[in-house]
């Protein structure tokens, strides 16, 4: 039915919501909203509105919609939207920690297993972000994140993820140079210096050290042995374990660069990896998207907005570009 979507647009556009926070009052009048087609205008309006609301505002919109129409807004969106646009909008409607919990849960489901996505989200988040994800995960799904990791991953990859979500890490910028040199030496002895690899040492250091400390270890490794720690990880490990270590390492040095490269890979060549495109744009928009855009432009001599515009279409394109913000 068209009526509920019209009501949604009016709710969002006419400023009739009961919120007392002046920053939330919308100045549009319902008389300014005219339907020019049975679906197009409504979808465009909903996309435009939701893409420009922060997490607090989106939560309030959902609350008010339920209060006014006794209906869950997310269920209404499911019935009105389709395909990639539906996926992106529904993911966007959650707060950052809840969103990450959903992405990880879906990535770990047996029939939808996408361990690369789960690894990316877990290994790129800070300790405080991981704590919020774990709280949301248990609240939403009635199971501890660690339990699902235990069930759906294996080997050294499992050991790394469990250590990473369970270990407390310092989040400040101070580093211990002497410890960095000792850890660099330990990693060299655990990898390039010997036949085979001591995975336990890699897991211990990568899960226990802060981002700033790990970046210092990487620099010390290069100074001491003339090669990069990234190359050592690539030569000494493989598969999901390697991906997890590299994600942790690269995000300790430059998370924006890591995500810029992942976005470029998602759009490179024939076809588009829309699952990755949606996941990264939606989950990073409220965190560090401006830095990612700057890294993308620096590395690929093309704006991220232009790249997304070339690889998407319709309301789906409009929504992603709205999340990205101005093309600069």
Boundary residue ending a domain (80, 103, 135): 80
The total domain count for the chain is 3
Do residue 183 and residue 245 come from a single domain?
Answer: yes
User: Does 167 map to a domain?
Assistant: no
Name the percent of the chain in helix, strand, coil, to the closest 5: 75, 0, 25
pLDDT at position 25 is: 33
- Shared domain for 192 and 227, answered yes or no, is yes
Neighbours of 319 (CB within 10 A): 27
Residue 300: CATH number of its domain: 1.10.220.10
- Residues comprising the chain, all counted: 328
What pLDDT, on a 0 to 100 scale, did the predictor assign at position 11? Answer: 56
Q: Give residue 22's pLDDT.
A: 35
Rounded to two decimals, what is the model's pTM? 0.88
The answer to whether residue 74 sits within a structural domain is yes
User: Is residue 112 in a domain?
Assistant: no
pLDDT confidence of residue 14: 53
Question: Can you give the pLDDT at residue 170?
Answer: 96
> d(Cα 213, Cα 203) in Å, to the nearest integer?
15
pLDDT tens for 261-318 read 999 999 998 899 999 999 999 999 999 999 999 999 999 999 999 999 999 999 999 9
Residues 291 and 236 in one domain: no
Residue range 188-210, pLDDT digits in tens: 999 999 999 999 999 999 999 99
Cβ atoms of 280 and 262 within 8 Å: the answer is yes
Task: Give the C-alpha separation, 113 to 119, whole Å.
Answer: 11
Cα gap 135→120, rounded to integer Å? 19
DSSP per residue over 222-268, as a string?
HHHHSS-HHHHHHHH--HHHHHHHHHHHHHHH-HHHHHHHHHHHHHS
Same domain flag for 239 and 261: no
Q: Domain of 19?
A: 3-80
Q: pLDDT, tens digit, for every residue of 223-237?
A: 999 999 999 999 999
| C-alpha to C-alpha distances, 32 to 86, 107, 253, 259, 317, nearest whole angstrom | 26, 42, 49, 39, 25
Low-confidence ranges of the chain (pLDDT < 70): 1-41, 112
Query: Which of 47, 80, 113 is the last residue in one of the domains?
Result: 80
Q: Is 245 within a domain? A: yes
- Between CA 43 and CA 2 the distance in angstroms is 11
Among 80, 99, 114, residue at a domain's last position: 80
In a domain, 154, yes or no: no
């Amino acid at each position: 039915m068209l009526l509920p979507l019209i009501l949604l647009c009016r709710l969002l556009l006419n400023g009739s919501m009961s919120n007392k926070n002046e920053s939330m009052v919308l100045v549009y009048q319902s008389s300014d909203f005219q339907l020019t087609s049975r679906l197009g205008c409504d979808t465009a309006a909903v996309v435009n509105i939701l893409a420009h609301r922060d997490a607090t505002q989106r939560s309030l919109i959902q609350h008010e919609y339920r209060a006014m129409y006794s209906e869950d807004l997310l269920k209404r969106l499911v019935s009105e939207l389709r395909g990639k646009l539906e996926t992106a909008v529904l993911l966007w409607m959650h707060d950052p920690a809840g969103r990450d919990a959903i992405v990880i849960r879906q990535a770990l489901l047996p029939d939808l297993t996408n361990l690369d996505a789960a690894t990316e989200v877990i290994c790129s988040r800070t300790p405080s972000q991981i704590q919020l994800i774990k709280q949301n995960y248990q609240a939403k799904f009635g199971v501890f994140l660690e339990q699902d990791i235990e069930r759906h991953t294996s080997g050294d990859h499992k050991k790394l993820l469990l250590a990473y979500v369970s270990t407390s890490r310092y989040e400040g910028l101070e580093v211990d140079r002497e410890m960095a040199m000792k850890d660099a030496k330990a990693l060299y002895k655990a990898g390039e210096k010997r036949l085979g690899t001591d995975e336990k040492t890699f897991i211990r250091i990568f899960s226990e050290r802060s981002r700033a400390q790990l970046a210092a270890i990487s620099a010390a490794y290069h100074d001491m042995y003339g090669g990069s720690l990234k190359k050592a990880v690539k030569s000494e490990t493989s598969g999901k374990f390697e991906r997890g270590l590299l994600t942790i390492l690269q995000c300790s040095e430059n998370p924006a660069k890591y995500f810029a490269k992942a976005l470029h890979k998602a759009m490179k060549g024939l076809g588009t990896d829309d699952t990755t495109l949606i996941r990264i744009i939606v989950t990073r928009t409220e965190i560090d998207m401006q830095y990612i855009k700057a890294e993308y432009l620096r590395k690929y001599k093309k704006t991220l907005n232009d790249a997304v515009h070339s690889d998407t279409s319709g309301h789906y394109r409009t929504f992603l570009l709205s999340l990205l913000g101005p093309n600069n």
